[in-house]
Structure 1
Amino acid sequence: MSEAADDYKSFFCTNGLTWTWRDGSDISPGWCAGNVNSYESKSTFRPPLPLDKLLGGCPPAASDSPLFALLPIEVLTRIQSFLPANELINFALVNSDCRQIARSIWFETLVFDYDFERSRLSVLDKLIKESRQSSALNLGACIRRMVVATNGECFQSLHATEYDTLGKVSGDEKELQLQRAADYYFKSYIPSLTYVFKTGPKLLQTALQSPILHLRLNGTITNQELIEAFRKIEPQHTSRLQTLDIELSKGKFGHQAGHSFDLVARMLKYCSSSLRTFRWNGVYTHLGDGEEAGESPEPLPPLLNIRDLTLTSGRMRSPKDVQALLPSGLACKLVRLEVDSPDVYKVQHIDTFTEIPTLKELALTNIMGVPLSLIEANSQLDLLSIIVRDDQADIIDNTLLPLLCRRFHNLRSLAIEYGSARTQVSNFALQYISQLKSLERLHLSAGERYLWRRTWLVDHHAIRQCVRQLPKLKSLALSRDTYHPDISNTNGDHYERYYTSPDLLTARDSKEHQLISRRYDELAGGNFEGELKWKFEMIHRRRMLLKAYKYIYLRYEDGPSLDFLYFGELPASMPSFEIL
């Protein structure tokens, strides 16, 4: 990044308000759960690995020192979490034990994304060499999360010798070698590994037979090869897997309608009893017009111990499949449920639900008909996130919000996203929201989204009047608000009035304008249209900054003490400080 870009980015750090640049994107329902940092990265604390596990069972090298002699292993393990990142290098130089502790922090997550940068392979070379040695203080004991994103062409070009040698081996021998290697790395050399992201058929097959607890497959292409890998797992085998996150892709070639569904069915077969969190996003079935949904060739096993369930972007093949994933009655132990897609089987099954005593978080997207009976029966909810279609907006204002005011006295997080036809959050709705005194996080969205443009002209005065009546509110997000108006749009005059501001009079003399002009000269090369866009960007950000300050001042009145804002496509945190 250039020096100009660094200046441009750092300009938005101000007293009491810190803007962090991020390309605009809609906020996921998980943001309202309160455990998401910068909207997308969940920050869940993981306790450090026990020192004895890092040392491979060997006694500490400095066991005669007071620190190791007097403090229990549990206390030493806890101390690791307080080590400052900038001191780890000095800490690692103390002795071999300290080096191993530092490496457990540096290499907690290891990414294998084969590209044409040979520097990426240095860690892999280290792992291969260490795995052939007898030393207990190896890097494998420090790894907890592994991301595998291999590219076949890159792998072949960077590992030509190994690739050619493996190609000369017979099919059965090759499979045996790959299986042995995967078994060794998963079960022996990397004993602390609990998370694996995006891997191939062989590693995937081994992962389900290993001590791994969390498996995430993003962009996995479903094909017959992947399904065949699961068929070779011993029928009596059961996995310890607790989290399974699947985002399937049909790929370009070789995809059949039943592949994705059969793949998930076979995976669940080995982990249904241990699974606590299941997220399924991707292609389930492809039914043509007029084609009837039939029974699944591979039925889904019941998930009797599931606690966190997400079903998005797809249709089930039969009601039995929905019943297996969503146990009803006393068998349902769900704490969190997220359903996205107008699947008739899901809707029919959800309509049969009543009270789920354990349910704390409910997220519904594009459901055909708002399941008011399910919502009404679960007034114990901490979080409710609902994205409605255009024909359901009145149900939210006239039925759902009054219901929340009457019965939901412990609701801490609320997210409501209207369809594109609703270009404003009505004052009627804001009045009801202002009565939810327990709210700590609020996310509102309205209007149409056209590519990266938005059409919600936010009435910040009305929003502030609502927010100031919520004494516990900490985080406020307004997504899909207007960003770059299309002047040729039929509402162009409306946009012009909305953005007419005294900022325009002083824009040319501002520091932002100078920085953006310098950045523009680097990138645009003198294009007039590009210059206008950069100027609008500067004006827009200044306007959003001024708007944000008005929300900060609420903390000094009788309203809430906000510590996080998101609007104008910019997230902002507000560190606590005192006014003398």
Structure 2
Amino acid sequence: MKFDFYRDVLSLIMGKLGLPGADNFGRESNQRRSLLLDTVMQGRRRASSCKLLQLPAEILADIVDLLADDRASLESLALVNSDCQQLARCCQFAEVNFDYSLEAKQLASQLVEDKSSQLSKPGIGACIRRVTFASHPHHVAHTHRELYESFYGDGAQSFAVEQRQVLSDEAREEYVVARAAAVEAISSLPNLETLSWRDQFSLDKNFFERITRCSAQHIDLNRPAIDDAWSLTPPLTPST
């Protein structure tokens, strides 16, 4: 079995994880965590007349940022009314990490569904300003358990080369589908400012067609392989 580091899911199981929490790319030192409520409301008026929600959006953002590490309080705030829900989401979903977990895949699916269904009220996607794509080795191994066992399990020697190849091919196809769903979700985020891409698995043409049209002002690719050589000119990239 021939191993291609940049095109084999096994490399994501073996690879070192660059923790997104230590990455300050695209982040100003004095930058708030949360987007302003008026920004994520996308032109809609606040529905609530309570005094708290009449405060300027900048003050509300500072208040909710103080609750960034208090998950219970943010969850309680989100239950008050629709405006408070969106205010809490401004903090809860300001930074999102697609780490190949089931929760991350479900979030990607929800973001795509929200975009296609044209919600009457702002969704989660409007709250996201920073995305990190970094598949965690644990989640990759858990998702592709049989592939992991064929190399590292107690019974690894019982797997034939052909079996490992089949498992590797199946895992690659599943990873590419999951990645494509995440890329579609990322390309739909209206207020995205920063995208940090940590996986070194090879990138295809579809990736660049989507990512070059997303709203991110800063894009950091961590030395990935590229399937083919393309000229980053229209129609692969926007004309302006």
TM-score between the two structures when normalised by the length of structure 2: 0.57
Mapped partners of 1:84, 1:148: distance in 2: 21
Mapped partners of 1:104, 1:159: distance in 2: 30
C-alpha contact 2:233 2:239 (8 A) present in aligned 1: no
- Give 1:125's aligned residue: 109
**RMSD of aligned residue pairs (Cα, Å):** 3.6
C-alpha contact 2:193 2:217 (8 A) present in aligned 1: yes
Tell me: CA distance 1:118–1:154, structure 2 relative to 1, closer, same or farther (3 Å): farther
Question: What is the correspondence of 1:474-493 to structure 2 with a 5 Å cutoff?
Answer: none
Shift of 1:218: 0.8
Structure 1 gaps, min length 5: 1-37, 164-177, 239-580
Mapped partners of 1:60, 1:155: distance in 2: 45
Partner amino acid for 1:212? A
C-alpha contact 2:189 2:215 (8 A) present in aligned 1: no
Partner amino acid for 1:207? I
- Give 1:197's aligned residue: 196
Partner amino acid for 1:76? L
Mapped partners of 1:60, 1:235: distance in 2: 37
Question: What is the correspondence of 1:180-579 to structure 2 with a 5 Å cutoff?
Answer: 182=184, 186=187, 189-198=188-197, 200-201=203-204, 202-223=206-227, 225=228, 227-228=229-230, 230-233=232-235, 237-238=239-240
TM-score between the two structures when normalised by the length of structure 1: 0.26
Tell me: CA distance 1:49–1:90, structure 2 relative to 1, closer, same or farther (3 Å): same
Mapped partners of 1:113, 1:154: distance in 2: 16
C-alpha contact 1:92 1:102 (8 A) present in aligned 2: yes
The one of the two structures with greater contact order (alpha-carbon pairs below 8 A, sep at least 6) is 2
Structure 2 gaps, min length 5: 1-20, 141-168
Shift of 1:214: 0.8
Shift of 1:127: 1.7
Deviations 1:439-477 (A, max 9, x none): xxxxxxxxxxxxxxxxxxxxxxxxxxxxxxxxxxxxxxx
Tell me: CA distance 1:112–1:81, structure 2 relative to 1, closer, same or farther (3 Å): closer
Secondary structure in 2 matching 1:228: coil
C-alpha contact 2:114 2:123 (8 A) present in aligned 1: yes
Partner amino acid for 2:85? R
Q: Select the structure that is richer in helix.
A: 2
Tell me: CA distance 1:125–1:58, structure 2 relative to 1, closer, same or farther (3 Å): same
- Give 2:57's aligned residue: 73
Tell me: CA distance 1:191–1:78, structure 2 relative to 1, closer, same or farther (3 Å): same
- Give 2:40's aligned residue: 54
C-alpha contact 1:205 1:230 (8 A) present in aligned 2: no
Deviations 1:29-70 (A, max 9, x none): xxxxxxxxx9x55483422311112122211121x222234x
1:111 aligns with 2:128: no
C-alpha contact 1:195 1:215 (8 A) present in aligned 2: yes
Which structure has the larger Rg? 1
Shift of 1:129: 2.4
Shift of 1:103: 1.9
Deviations 1:500-548 (A, max 9, x none): xxxxxxxxxxxxxxxxxxxxxxxxxxxxxxxxxxxxxxxxxxxxxxxxx
Q: Percent identity?
A: 24
Partner amino acid for 1:104? C
1:156 aligns with 2:160: no
Partner amino acid for 1:237? S
C-alpha contact 1:110 1:147 (8 A) present in aligned 2: yes
Secondary structure in 2 matching 1:219: coil
Tell me: CA distance 1:206–1:91, structure 2 relative to 1, closer, same or farther (3 Å): same
Shift of 1:81: 2.4
Tell me: CA distance 1:159–1:41, structure 2 relative to 1, closer, same or farther (3 Å): closer
- Give 2:84's aligned residue: 98
C-alpha contact 2:36 2:90 (8 A) present in aligned 1: no
Match of 2:126 among 141, 145, 153: 141
Q: Select the structure that is richer in strand.
A: 1
